[in-house]
Amino acid sequence: MKRKNSLMSPGLISGDMNIGTVVEKYPRVAAIFTGYGLHCTGCHGSNSETIEAGAAGHGMDEETIALMLRDANKIALADAEDTKNDSELKITSKAAQKVTEFIKQSKKKGGYLRISIIEGGCSGKSYNFALENNRKNKDTIIEKNGAKFILDKSSYEQLKGSKIDYLESLQGSGFKIHNPNANHTCGCGSSFS
């Protein structure tokens, strides 16, 4: 396929980029890709195939690929802006919004979302999320758009530099953590080492 300039569009994502790398860095973009018919965002081939090649393989023409990249860049740019000035632990507005909704539904006054790392899972460690009313003395509190997240000292240290998002897709909905400190992440994304 002969590339148009639009496939190499200015932005964070271009057609010559690897699908798996893009989805790992900008998880919410997976919903854009699948919405356009690029369903290989979670398969093993996504780690070795470019967006352009994968889209062409799914029968997309250049105009559709360019539109998909435009929409993907809108999400990626919004996420990049959203987390630019956060603390060492980056939390997207979508994750904060979901925490606020969950706390309202649970009717917990002054509630928090506790994020912790526990032993277990197919790769050795797993992320755990729980709504709580109280915090412990040495907890770290991070506030984003009125939502409060708490972490124990060990979990906070292991999550420094991470990005917490909330994804809604056909495969399921939930919190997603992109942790640059993880050496290995399992296919489900909830376990790491």
* Type of residue found at 101: E
Going by C-beta distance under 8 Å and a sequence separation of 6 or more, which residues neighbour residue 190? 121, 126, 127
Which one of 1.10.10.10, 3.40.50.80, 1.10.3910.10, 3.40.50.150 gives the CATH number of domain 5-83? Answer: 1.10.3910.10
For the domain made up of 90-192, give the CATH fold: Hypothetical Protein Aq_1857; Chain: A; (2.60.300)
DSSP-derived letter for residue 46 is G
pLDDT of residue 4: 44
- 183 vs 37, which has greater pLDDT? 37
- Sequence spans of domains, the chain: 5-83, 90-192
* Type of residue found at 154: S
Residue with tokens 């729980």: 130
> pLDDT by residue (tens digit) across 104-126?
888 767 789 999 998 876 667 88
Contact between 184 and 45 (Cβ < 8 Å): no
pTM of the predicted model as reported, rounded to 2 decimal places? 0.54
Nearest one of 110, 104, 33, 16 to 68, comparing CA atoms: 33
Cα distances (Å, whole numbers) of residue 28 to 4, 39, 61, 80: 25, 14, 23, 12
> pLDDT by residue (tens digit) across 11-53?
789 999 998 888 888 888 988 998 998 887 767 667 788 999 9
pLDDT of residue 1: 42
